[in-house]
Amino acid sequence: MRTFKLTVSYDGTDFSGFQRQANARSVQAELESALAAIEGKHVTVAGAGRTDSGVHALGQVASFKLANTIAEHDLLRALNAKLPEDVRVLSVDVEAPGFNARFSARSKMYRYRISNTRVMSPFQRRFAWHISRALDVEAMNHAAHGLLGEHDFSSFQAKTSPPTRKGRVQPTLETRTSIRTMTRAIWLEEPLAGGGRLLTFEIAGTGFLKYMVRTIVGTLVEVGDGRRTPASFLELLSSADRASAGPTAPPSGLYLVRVDYDAAAPVSF
């Protein structure tokens, strides 16, 4: 059997997330349904990341095994013919037998978009967070710069996350760590037609905790509107106190941009 790697893009608005769920629509289930029609039996798909309900992907990665001898370019066309319009396979590659989209990954990049306008375009409502009040991007970037490097990101994980170990360990099903290394954390801005700005936060690193990016964004917005200072944001990062962090930003503005598999990169999933 061959091991395949898919790069997938999807509008996450109407999905419960990537991971298959019993009574909700998921990207994994859509992929498995399309593959079952090709293989003639169930095919289990592994995703590089779960992505939460309503979160989008520009470059999610999935892997699976097929006995079918279909060529890569034919598989790409067949999958896109069977998948719904809000999911598209961008590329298909054959990988080494041990490749796994999740466990072979070494880093990921996310992007979060904020429509910082008085009135939000109806064409952005599914794909950005609307904030009409003024935001100080310089202050937000000052705070975001402190995320670079290795830190314990417990302050920004989901409130219901299981306890994590503080320390550098290789993750298994039994052990987890909240230590992550960020290699990029920056706010970018561009003017929007009709006034206002599109603010985009880009963050890349060796791994991410549940709701981590959205909680970082929600807290950085509090820096931007003056409710926090950059210094207090850095104190929060060091405190490992989730209760003191800001709100979790809405899922509509978040995108999984890409997953990297460079063997030289560190891993801490």
Residues known to be catalytic? 52
Tell me how far apart the alpha carbons of residues 238 and 153 are, in angstroms, rounded to a whole number. 8
Residue carrying the six token digits 């709701």: 211
What DSSP designation does 244 have? G
Of residues 211, 247, 256, 222, the one with CA closest to residue 112: 256
| Residue 117 and residue 21 in contact, taking contact as beta carbons nearer than 8 Å | no
Query: 136-152 in b/e burial notation, b at 16+ Cβ within 10 A?
Result: ebebbbbbbebbeeebb
**How far is it, in rounded angstroms, from Cα 2 to Cα 209?**
31
Q: Which two structure tokens, joined as six digits, stand for 128?
A: 């950005």
Q: 25, 32 in Cβ contact below 8 A?
A: no
Q: Note whether 44 and 32 are within 8 A (CB).
A: yes
Residue 89 phi, psi dihedral angles, 5° rounding: -85, 125
